[in-house]
């Protein structure tokens, strides 16, 4: 049975297609570069929703080894923007999202900053300092629990089953969140709960089921419905389309994209590059804990294509393209080289790759790719190969 969302967002209407190759949504500033040079970006008019600088996460194992899960990640997320975060399994995407929400385990140590702004109020700072951005990495647990999670930052978790209460129906969990965040009661609450389920294409006739009675795809939709209720200014969606068929993938990412209307932001963590191409304004590519490329989605998926050899390989691995996987395996995050971590898998690697590349103009590579590609992630032809 098809469970329709109220209004699928037409692909061509996305802001990215109006902005591709130009500026970050709603600003006069170019897209943020990665790495240390991002810090020096002009900031008088650019008011990002989220400004992450030099974010690192280290896990200390029982054996005393350090796992470098996230290293010196810097990026901005503008109001109204969808940023897709992509990269192979284990490269640190979920750890990054957990760090932003204060959900890391006790053996984790973070450094850097992640400033969450009040988009509407930042234009006119208030007298009592209430409008100052909140550093999510420095905030205490009470602040995160009371004012951030679900309210200022929503999360579609990667493992919905682990985040849903197993012994309560989806309907009661959804109603509880709607009551808490919207203050509704009685008939209005029932109607708003049904509407919240429909937003994530969760079928109304399954609301009386407990999470363990649901398929993986339905549990995913339940988690998405819960995350959307608060209309949080920033939404982190960690693999929100796992277990969904193509049509539902597209409906789900369109609904998430619609979340960015009215100046809200979306960080979409996904393995699904065609889904990222469909809705993202920009793409951040992560490898072994580092951002290796941060690019406008239009040129990245179309022409001239990605510039980091790893990003180029990720796109080439798609069935719609060359269907050739990136050779080799990602490195152990507990035993990273001093230089470029991708070098052992990179056909372009040379002696200079023993040094860590300094990010420049959105790419961290000593010898970025310069030739273009001709086919989009979804297989669409986008002009000739450069
Ligand atoms: N508590 C922990 N202790 C030690 N290492 C951890 C811990 N949690 C995560 N890691 C490691 O951090 C790395 C990054 O994991 P993460 O879950 O962020 O990857 P990911 O990019 O989200 O992958 P996937 O696409 O499979 O979800 C992995 O190597 C993982 O083993
Ligand atoms: Ni993950």
pLDDT of 97-150, one tens digit each? 999 999 999 999 999 999 999 866 544 555 555 678 999 999 999 999 999 999
pLDDT in tens, 148-191: 999 999 999 998 888 899 999 999 999 999 999 999 999 999 99
CA-proximal residue: ligand 1, atom 1 (nearest): 105
Whether residue 97 has its Cβ less than 6 Å from ligand 1: no
Q: Determine the length of the chain.
A: 386
ipTM above 0.85, yes or no: yes
Q: Name the E strands within 101-207.
A: 108-116, 134-135, 153-156
Which positions ≥6 away from 257 have C-beta within 8 Å? 9, 14, 82, 266, 278, 279
Beta strands 108-116; 82-86: pairing state? unpaired
What is the distance in A from the centroid of ligand 1 to the CA of 272?
A: 18
Strand (E) positions, the chain?
Answer: 48-60, 66-78, 82-86, 108-116, 134-135, 153-156, 234-238, 265-269, 282-287, 290-296
Per-residue pLDDT, averaged over 358-386, amounts to 69
**Ligand 1 pocket, residue 170 CB under 6 Å:** no
Measured distance CA(334)–CA(324) in Å, rounded? 28
Torsion (CA) 242, 246, 247, 252 in degrees, nearest 10: 30
- Residue 286 pairs with which residues in a beta bridge? 291
Q: Which helix (H) or strand (E) holds 357?
A: none
How many whole angstroms from 158 Cα to the centroid of ligand 2?
A: 6
Is the pLDDT at 383 greater than 60, yes or no? no
Which residue is closest in CA terms to ligand 1's atom 24?
89
Q: Is 147 in the pocket of ligand 1 (CB under 6 A)?
A: no
Angle of helix 186-199 versus helix 170-182 axis, rounded to 10:
110
Quote the CA–CA distance of 39 and 54 in Å, as a whole number. Answer: 9
Q: What is the mean pLDDT of residues 194-209?
A: 96
Note residues around ion ligand 2 (Cβ under 5 angstroms): 93-94, 158
Task: Provide the pLDDT for residue 161.
Answer: 82
232: pLDDT strictly greater than 50: yes
Ligand 1 binding pocket includes 98 (Cβ within 6 Å)? no
Query: The tokens 């810097």 sit on which residue?
Result: 74
Q: Which atom of ligand 1 is nearest to the CA of 286?
A: 21
What would the two tokens of residue 337 be?
């080289």
d(Cα 36, Cα 294) in Å, to the nearest integer? Answer: 13
Radius of gyration of the chain (CA): 21
Which 3 state secondary structure label does DSSP give 263? helix
**Whether pLDDT at 17 is above 70:** no
Q: Are 270 and 276 in contact (CB under 8 A)?
A: yes
- 211 alpha carbon – ligand 2 mean position (Å): 21
What is the value of pTM for the model shown?
A: 0.86
Enter the tokens of residue 276.
């990222």
Q: What is the DSSP string of 274-327?
A: HHHHHH-SEEEEEETTEEEEEEEHHHHHSSS---SHHHHHHHHTSTTTT--PPS
Nearest protein CA to atom 11 of ligand 1, as residue:
69
Burial of 54 (C-beta count, 10 Å sphere; 0-12/13-18/19+): middle
Which residues are 113's β-sheet partners?
A: 53
The answer to whether the CB of 289 falls within 8 A of the CB of 91 is: yes
Short-list 112, 167, 174, CA closest to 137: 112
Helix (H) or strand (E) holding 18: helix 15-19
Q: Which of 92, 110, 291 to mutate to test the pocket of ligand 1 (most atoms within 8 A of CB)?
A: 92
Query: What pLDDT is stored for residue 229 in this prediction?
Result: 94
Whether residue 27 has pLDDT greater than 80:
no
Pocket lining: 90 vs ligand 1, CB cutoff 6 Å: yes
Cβ count within 10 A of residue 149: 17
Residue 2 binned pLDDT confidence (cut-offs 50, 70, 90): very low
Q: Which helix (H) or strand (E) holds 3?
A: none
Q: From the CB of 310, is ligand 1 less than 6 Å away? A: no
Q: Which helix (H) or strand (E) holds 217?
A: helix 216-228
């Amino acid at each position: 049975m098809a469970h329709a969302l109220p209004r699928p967002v037409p692909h061509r209407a996305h802001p990215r297609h109006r902005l591709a190759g130009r500026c970050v949504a709603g600003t006069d500033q170019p897209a943020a570069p990665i790495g240390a040079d991002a810090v020096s970006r002009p900031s008088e008019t650019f008011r990002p929703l989220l400004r992450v600088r030099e974010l690192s996460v280290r896990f200390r194992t029982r054996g005393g080894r350090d796992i470098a899960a996230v290293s010196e990640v810097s990026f901005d997320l503008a109001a109204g923007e969808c940023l897709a975060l992509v990269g192979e399994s284990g490269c640190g995407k979920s750890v990054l999202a957990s760090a932003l929400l204060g959900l890391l385990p006790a053996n984790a140590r973070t450094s850097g900053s992640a400033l969450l702004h009040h988009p509407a109020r930042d234009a006119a700072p208030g007298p009592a300092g209430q409008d100052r951005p909140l550093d999510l990495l420095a905030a205490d647990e009470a602040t995160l629990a009371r004012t951030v999670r679900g309210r200022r930052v929503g999360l579609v978790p990667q493992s919905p089953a682990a985040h849903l209460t197993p012994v309560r129906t989806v309907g009661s969990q959804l109603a509880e969140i709607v009551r808490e965040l919207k203050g509704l009661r009685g008939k209005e609450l029932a109607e708003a709960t049904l509407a919240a389920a429909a937003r994530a294409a969760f079928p109304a006739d399954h609301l009386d089921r407990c999470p363990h009675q649901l398929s993986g795809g339905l549990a995913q939709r339940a988690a998405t419905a819960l995350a959307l209720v608060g209309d949080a200014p920033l939404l982190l969606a960690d693999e929100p389309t796992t277990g969904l068929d193509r049509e539902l993938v597209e409906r789900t990412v369109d609904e998430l994209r619609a979340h960015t209307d009215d100046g809200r932001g979306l960080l979409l963590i996904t393995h699904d590059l065609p889904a990222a191409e469909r809705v993202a304004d920009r793409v951040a590519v992560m490898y072994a804990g580092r951002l290796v490329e941060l690019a406008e989605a239009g040129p990245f998926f179309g022409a001239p294509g990605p510039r980091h050899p790893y990003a180029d390989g990720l796109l080439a691995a798609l069935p719609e393209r060359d269907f050739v996987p990136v050779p080799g395996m990602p490195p152990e995050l507990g035993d990273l080289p001093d230089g470029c971590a991708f070098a052992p898998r990179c056909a372009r690697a040379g002696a200079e790759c023993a040094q860590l590349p300094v990010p420049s103009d959105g790419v961290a590579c000593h010898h970025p790719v310069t030739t273009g590609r001709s086919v989009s992630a979804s297989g669409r032809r986008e002009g000739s190969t450069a």
